[in-house]
Each structure stands twice: as C-alpha cells, then as structure tokens.
Amino acid sequence: MFKLMTLIATIPNSLNDVAYNDIIKKIWLITSYLKDEVGLKINLVVAQGGRKPQLIVMDEVIDLNDNVDFIIEKITSKLTYDVGDREFLNKVAVALKSKFS
C-alpha cells in the first residue's frame, strides 16, 4: 500500500542557471529516494518565487540549501509522527537505517 505525499518546491527567479540546476537535481534526488526507498507516492509541485529555495512538506518549510541527507531525514522523521501504520513505519525505519549507516 502506497502512502501519498505532496511536496511543494519554491525556487527564486533570481537563481543563476547553475544554482537552479543544482536545486532541481536536489529535488529529484529527494523525490526519488522517497519513492524508491520509502515507498511513497509523490505529488510534486514546483513554483517560481520567494527569496530562497524551499520545500514545503506536511506544513513544514525546509530550506533546499541544506544537504540532501538532512532534508530526507527531516521528512522521514516527520512521517513517524503522522502515520499510524506499523508496517509502513518499519519500512521508513529500514530506509533511514540503510541511508545513514
């Protein structure tokens, strides 16, 4: 059974091409990890605007300038508080352990 998660990314118009590409790659890595390793179905919305690149996940704003591992850890730790399905929680725990060991 897949859990659905919506991610909203905001990317400032003022970024140069290199920084823009780096942020897009980071978003892709995050969504791929959440889909492939955690088993989430991801809805991704990307919008231009704001002062800095951000990711909005489950009512939390995460700075996309942080490293990918930190962002994934923040998202997956939030899942443990929001999901009551023990089988899903075990899958999240295994994915986290394999990512950070």
Q: Give the burial class of 101: count Cβ atoms within 10 A of its Cβ; 0-12 exposed, 13-18 middle, 19 or more buried.
A: exposed
pLDDT at 98 exceeding the cut of 60: yes
Q: Which two tokens stand for residue 33?
A: 């990890």
**Using an 8 Å Cβ cutoff, are 4 and 44 in contact?**
no
Tell me the pLDDT tens digit for each residue of 8-29. 999 999 999 999 999 999 999 9
Q: What is the CATH number of domain 3-100?
A: 3.40.30
**Using an 8 Å Cβ cutoff, are 56 and 10 in contact?**
yes
Mean pLDDT of 66-91: 74
For 35, residues 6+ apart whose C-beta sits below 8 A from its C-beta are 41, 42
Note the pLDDT of residue 1: 46
Scan for tokens 């730790």, then name that residue.
77
